């Protein structure tokens, strides 16, 4: 619409300019009479109420034609008496003027068409017919990214590997003095949000070489052959700019295994052609030229095995979720951008967020800054950090969701049952906070535990204790309400069943007739051969029944343990429920029973 409006305005302006150029300069009638009396008028053209005159000699300003808007009926006699030629109607235009009057509308239409077509091409990502095969990689230098390795924390191993590559690019002779060469490709693998793209940006900030960044999805277009052409153009530009680094984000969009297409009956010809071109380019360029390929993906199991072999992606680095120390380092990096009160305990945030990624931790600190801003504080305090952790992990407080007194009482009993069972069992993470404030989509309350450290192996007793804690809320409801349980334990039952199934089918912890074998299909291969879609394990109907019975026994045994603990701590349960109904949120400092200082008979607290 804006192009069309511009074309119309241009046409009106040109028409007005053309008309003005044909009329000549306006002149007062008295001046025209003077010129006529001096005999300087050679020819006059009369059209309606407009009179144009061609002079015998130019005026001092160079004009040879003048115009006036008055036509006197007695003027004809004066003109004939002085021998002036009189013409009625418009004077014939010259050949150039006639040509321009036909050409300029077509020029306007052509410009309008070109602008519209370019807008459509850019909007649909075609890039023009002549540039459709060009690479869309963006070139960066260290001043563009403003990210260095000092801004990356929690992934020390991956950072050290990339620092070595940057050093090789800066000093290839020093690193190659013993005959070694730089790796052709480095594949960064890890869950979403762990900092793979941030590491690549840090490489761009540290290396004094060009850095080409592109997403794997930008190679795939509607035209056949465009992806392969863009791969060729990308590596051609990289060779010209060597030494340099190429970074392909979301490699799985480009390097999906070709075996899957064959099994499903084809349909991946264009993607296979693009992948084949990438494989050929990886084999073709000389590592001594200083071109290094970085790629990132969170789905390595679907990559083609030909990409992962040595000589193409020589190094495959895991960028995993950080441990407690790594989480603390990440929090310290992001805390530079916000104002914290002196003595703010970031270690508390790191301890209560096991499994959180770098993106999650950055979001928590941002939420803490927003929480402090909402309450009008000058700096982010400890209460803001804890509120941010709760907001990210459990959802937003639903103060508008008003529960009836009976429902609040049941929720308090349920959550206090979880907390007391967790406080009584050995090896379970201590309870930090219990609340009956609704949060998120369906949580009417929650129990927050503070892990004492990261755990990479879990014993059978640890898994059984987890199931027992999950069953604690239902056991408390059954005790207080004489077996009248509610639907609030639906999620607890689902999670307890999943843990029990893992114990029986994957970890061989059932014993008895099932023995020590795995009945669940293997998970996807990680950085190994391509994994086919999971299939159900080949077991008989009798074995399936044994598995179901074993899972039921594990959950039922955990439920009995939870019922025993809750029954032994009935007085503490009633006290805790009263505190929750009064204050809505109770911490371990408020209620000694949550600290696990005293345990019921038969339970030894570690």
Are 204 and 155 part of one and the same domain? yes
Q: Tell whether 191 is in a known binding site.
A: yes
Residue 439 or residue 321, greater confidence: 321
Domain holding 330: CATH number? 1.10.8.60
Are 469 and 363 part of one and the same domain? no
List pLDDT tens digits, range 449-498. Answer: 878 777 778 899 999 999 999 999 999 999 999 889 998 888 999 999 99
List pLDDT tens digits, range 210-239. Answer: 888 888 877 776 566 777 888 888 888 888
Q: Is the distance from CB of 80 to CB of 86 less than 8 angstroms?
A: yes
Are 161 and 273 part of one and the same domain? yes
Are 292 and 328 part of one and the same domain? no
| Choice among 281, 415, 546, 563 that is catalytic | 415
415 in active site: yes
Residue 356 resides in a domain: yes
Q: Tell whether 598 is in a known binding site.
A: no
| Predicted TM-score (pTM) of this structure | 0.68
Q: Is the distance from CB of 305 to CB of 257 less than 8 angstroms?
A: yes
d(CA 488, CA 443): 9
What's the number of domains the chain is made of?
Answer: 4
pLDDT at 604: 39
Are 435 and 544 part of one and the same domain? yes
Domain end position, chosen among 370, 394, 418: 394
List pLDDT tens digits, range 130-149. Answer: 444 455 555 555 446 677 88
Are 214 and 265 part of one and the same domain? yes
Domain holding 219: CATH number? 3.40.50.300
Range of the domain at 209: 138-318
List pLDDT tens digits, range 112-127. Answer: 777 777 666 555 444 5
3-state secondary structure 312-360: CCCEEEECCCCCHHHHHHHHHHHHHHCCECCCCCHHHHHHCCCCCCHHH
Average pLDDT of the segment spanning 408-415: 92
Q: Tell whether 174 is in a known binding site.
A: no
Are 154 and 281 part of one and the same domain? yes
Residue 200 resides in a domain: yes
Per DSSP, 506 falls in state I
Are 424 and 518 part of one and the same domain? yes
Domain holding 420: CATH number? 1.20.58.760
Least confident segment among 202-211, 247-256, 433-442, 533-542: 533-542
Average pLDDT of the segment spanning 167-192: 78
Band of residue 596 on the pLDDT scale cut at 50, 70, 90: low
List pLDDT tens digits, range 531-550. Answer: 444 444 577 888 889 999 99
Are 508 and 427 part of one and the same domain? yes
Q: Tell whether 414 is in a known binding site.
A: yes
Instruction: Pick the closest to residue 238 from 209, 215, 277 (CA basis).
Output: 209
Q: Tell whether 373 is in a known binding site.
A: no
Band of residue 410 on the pLDDT scale cut at 50, 70, 90: very high
Helices (H) and strands (E) in the chain, counts: 21, 14
Residue 146 resides in a domain: yes
Q: Tell whether 249 is in a known binding site.
A: no
Domain end position, chosen among 341, 366, 394: 394
Are 78 and 173 part of one and the same domain? no
Q: Tell whether 196 is in a known binding site.
A: yes
Domain holding 80: CATH number? 3.30.720.210
d(CA 565, CA 563): 6
Residue 605 resides in a domain: no
Residue 428 resides in a domain: yes
Residue 29 resides in a domain: yes
Residue 601 resides in a domain: no
User: Please, what is the average pLDDT of the chain?
Assistant: 78
Residue 534 resides in a domain: yes
Are 40 and 80 part of one and the same domain? yes
Band of residue 267 on the pLDDT scale cut at 50, 70, 90: very low
Q: Tell whether 185 is in a known binding site.
A: no
Are 250 and 220 part of one and the same domain? yes
List pLDDT tens digits, range 345-367. Answer: 898 888 888 888 888 899 999 99
- Check whether 506 has a pLDDT greater than 70: yes
pLDDT at 537: 56
């Amino acid at each position: 619409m804006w192009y069309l409006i511009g074309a119309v305005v241009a046409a009106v302006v040109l028409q007005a300019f053309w008309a003005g150029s044909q009329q000549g300069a306006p002149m007062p009638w008295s001046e025209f009479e003077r010129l006529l009396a001096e005999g300087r008028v050679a020819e006059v053209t009369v059209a309606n109420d407009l009179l144009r005159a061609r002079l015998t000699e130019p005026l001092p300003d160079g004009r040879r034609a003048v115009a006036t808007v008055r036509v006197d009926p007695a003027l004809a006699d004066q003109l004939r008496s002085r021998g002036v030629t009189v013409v009625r109607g418009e004077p014939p235009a010259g050949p150039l003027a006639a040509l321009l009057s036909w050409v300029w509308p077509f020029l306007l239409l052509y410009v309008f068409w070109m602008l519209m077509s370019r807008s459509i091409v850019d909007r649909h990502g075609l890039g023009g017919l002549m540039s459709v095969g060009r690479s869309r990689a963006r070139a960066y230098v260290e001043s563009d990214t403003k990210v260095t390795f000092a801004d990356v924390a929690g992934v020390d191993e991956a950072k050290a590997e990339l620092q070595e590559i940057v050093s090789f690019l800066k000093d290839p002779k020093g690193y190659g003095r013993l005959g070694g060469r730089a790796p052709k490709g480095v594949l960064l693998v890890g869950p979403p949000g762990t900092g793979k793209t941030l590491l690549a940006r840090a490489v761009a900030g540290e290396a004094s070489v060009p850095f080409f960044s592109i997403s794997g999805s930008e190679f795939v277009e509607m035209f056949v052959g465009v992806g392969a052409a863009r791969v060729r153009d990308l590596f051609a530009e990289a060779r010209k700019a060597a030494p340099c680094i190429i970074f392909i984000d979301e490699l799985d969009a480009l390097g999906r295994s070709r075996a899957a297409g064959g099994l499903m009956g084809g349909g991946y010809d264009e993607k296979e052609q693009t992948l084949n071109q990438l494989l050929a380019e990886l084999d073709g360029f000389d590592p001594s030229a200083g071109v290094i390929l970085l790629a990132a993906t969170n789905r390595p199991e679907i990559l083609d095995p030909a990409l992962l072999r040595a000589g193409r992606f020589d190094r495959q680095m895991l960028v995993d979720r950080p441990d407690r120390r790594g989480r603390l380092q990440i929090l310290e990096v992001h805390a530079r951008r916000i104002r914290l009160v002196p003595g703010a305990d970031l270690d508390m945030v790191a301890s209560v967020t096991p499994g959180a990624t770098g993106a999650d931790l950055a979001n928590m600190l941002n939420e803490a800054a927003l929480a402090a801003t909402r309450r009008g504080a000058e700096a982010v305090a400890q209460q803001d950090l804890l509120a941010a952790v709760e907001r990210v992990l459990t959802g937003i407080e639903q103060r508008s969701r008003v529960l009836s007194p009976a429902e609040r009482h049941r929720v308090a009993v349920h959550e206090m049952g979880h907390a007391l069972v967790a406080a009584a069992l050995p090896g379970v993470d201590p309870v930090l906070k219990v609340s009956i404030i609704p949060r998120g989509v369906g949580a009417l309350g929650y129990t927050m535990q503070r892990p004492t450290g990261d755990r990479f192996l879990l014993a059978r007793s640890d898994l059984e204790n987890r199931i027992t804690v999950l069953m604690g809320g239902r056991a408390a409801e059954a005790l207080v309400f004489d077996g009248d349980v509610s639907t609030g334990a639906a999620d607890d039952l689902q999670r307890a069943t999943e843990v029990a199934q893992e114990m029986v089918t994957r970890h061989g912890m059932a014993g008895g007739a099932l023995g020590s074998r795995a009945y669940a299909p293997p998970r996807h291969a990680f950085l190994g051969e391509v994994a086919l879609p999971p299939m159900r394990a080949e077991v008989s109907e009798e074995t399936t029944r044994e598995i179901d019975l074993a899972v039921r026994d594990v959950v039922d045994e955990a439920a009995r343990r939870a019922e025993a603990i809750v029954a032994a701590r009935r007085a503490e349960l009633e006290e805790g429920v009263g505190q929750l109904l009064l204050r809505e949120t109770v911490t371990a400092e408020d209620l000694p029973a949550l600290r696990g200082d005293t345990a019921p008979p038969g339970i030894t607290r570690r």
